[in-house]
Structure formats: structure tokens, C-alpha cells
Amino acid sequence: MNVDAGDLRSSLLALQQADSFFPAGAVAWSWGLETLVSDGRLGVPDEPTVRRRQRGMHRDRSAQVRGFVEGQLRHRWASFDRAFLIAAWHAADDLPALQVLDAEVEALTLAEELRQGSRRVGQSLLGVHVALGTQGAEAYQRQVLAGDAPGHLPVLQGLLWRRLGMDCNHCQLAAAHSLCTGLVSAAVRLGVIGHIDAQRVLTALQPLLLELLAQAPPAIDDACGFTPMAEIAVMRHETQDLRLFAN
């Protein structure tokens, strides 16, 4: 059997970039999940649950986590972030075009907390690639530091991963999988689900992820996100007394 060395290299790069061990800074963000848990809207243990735990019984709250992640995948990532990642991948050698895309993400992300999160995770990813010597990373970081580009995550994923040599499909898969694992990991750290249930959620999400990737991506002019409950939760996060995550 012949093996395409280029495809294997792209696959290996995607595995590295999507690995939670890669220090991209996304672990500090819950994208509204923490507030929803605190408000009792996503798997907060009640008194009967506590009693069940004391008897060695647990309520399965993975369905709620799965529903939250599905919403983020369908109504934010696939309909918005994906479009900008693909556009940035195609424009990886065109600095002015990348800056335009970056500015559009800034303008179309209405919640300040979401804008801040996307910028900070994107700039963290950029900083890692500058340290690793990825081609094009330092030049774009200069634009960000000069205030000429905000440095949003999907734009930087498209730029940096194209410069690494990842094909467009692998870039999309790595970005979507990273989102899923980041959200499920947040649920684990919040005590909503355990590690085994987290893996069940990720497995259950795979058919949806493949379905979304099989669909044509939206054009930039049609890109939009609609996750109102999560966005309100993100905006309310700063009012919480105890906070584990940045949003």
C-alpha cells in the first residue's frame, strides 16, 4: 500500500496542534459554561444528587454537556469561525487580506468577552508559533503588537497551520476537535462530568463533527453566530463570586 507522505505529515501536524498538551492557552476559557453551571442551568448537583453520590450513585449529566458543545459547534464554529479559518488558510500569504479578515471577526463578534477570549487565545497561539519559528508568525505578531490586527483565533489558525503545511481539511478538523476537547475539559474541571463520561461525549460528537465538515462552509459574507444563552453567560461571568475560568 502506497502512503502519501505529505498527507501523513499534515495529519501528524494536526494531531500536534489539536492536542490539549499544546500550550495554546485555551484551557483558561469556558466560553460561558462556568456561568451556566453556577446558575444551575447545566448540571449543578442538587441535594438529592449529593445523597446519591454518598451512596455511590451518580447522575449522568453528559447529555447536558453534549448539548452545550453541539450548540457551540453548530451555531458558532461551523457557521462563523470555520468560514474565517478557511479564508485565512487561502490568504496565508496575503497580509492585507488577513488583516481584513481579522477586523471582520472583531466587528462581527458582538460580546466583548467573546472578542477578548478569541483575541487572547489567538495571540497565545501566535506567541507559541513565534517561539517555534513558524514561518509568518513573527511578521503577523508585529501587526498585532502595532495595533494593526486584533489577532483572532480562527484567522491565526488558518494562517499558522497553512504555513506549517497542514491541508485545509486537517485545519478544520483540528480546530473543531480542539473546541470540543476544550469545552469538555472545562466541564470535567467544573465537576459536571468525569473523565470517562467526557470521552463518551467526545465520541458521541464525532458523527456531528463529520457531518458539519462534509457540508460546504459558509461564505464570509454569510458568516454568523447565534448562541445567545452562552453569550449572555459569558457577559455575566465577571459578576460571579468564584471564577475558575477567564470567561
SS (H, E, C) the chain: CCCCHHHHHHHHHHHHHHCCCCCCCHHHCCCCHHHHHHCCCCCCCCHHHHHHHHCCCCCCCHHHHHHHHHHHHHHHHHHHHHHHHHHHHHCCCCHHHHHHHHHHHHHHCCCHHHHHHHHHHHHHHHHHHHHHCCCCHHHHHHHHHCCCCCCCHHHHHHHHHHHHCCCHHHHHHHHHHHHHHHHHHHHHHCCCCCHHHHHHHHHHHHHHHHHHHHCCCCCHHHCCCCCHHHHHHHHHHHHCCCCCCCC
Q: Residue 44: what pLDDT?
A: 45
Question: Is residue 166 predicted with pLDDT exceeding 90?
Answer: yes
Q: How confident is the model at residue 234 (pLDDT cuts 50, 70, 90)?
A: confident
C-alpha cell at 76: 458558532
pLDDT, mean of residues 224-235: 83
pLDDT, one tens digit per residue, over 9-48 is: 999 999 999 988 888 776 777 878 888 888 777 754 444 4
Render pLDDT for 65-112 as a digit per residue (tens, 0 to 9). Answer: 999 999 999 999 999 999 999 999 999 999 999 999 999 999 999 888
Which domains occur in the chain, in start order? 27-239 (1.10.4190.10)
With cut-offs at 50, 70 and 90, classify the pLDDT of residue 53.
Answer: very low
User: Residue 56 has what pLDDT?
Assistant: 44
Query: What's the pLDDT band for 50 if we cut at 50, 70, 90?
Result: very low
20-29, 215-224, 234-243: which has the minimum mean pLDDT? 234-243
pLDDT given at position 2: 61
Taking residues 47-53, report their average pLDDT.
Answer: 43
Band of pLDDT at residue 224, cut at 50, 70 and 90: very high
* pLDDT band at residue 245 under the 50/70/90 scheme: low
Give pLDDT, residue 242: 58
Residue 244, pLDDT score: 58
Q: In this model, does residue 60 exceed pLDDT 80?
A: no
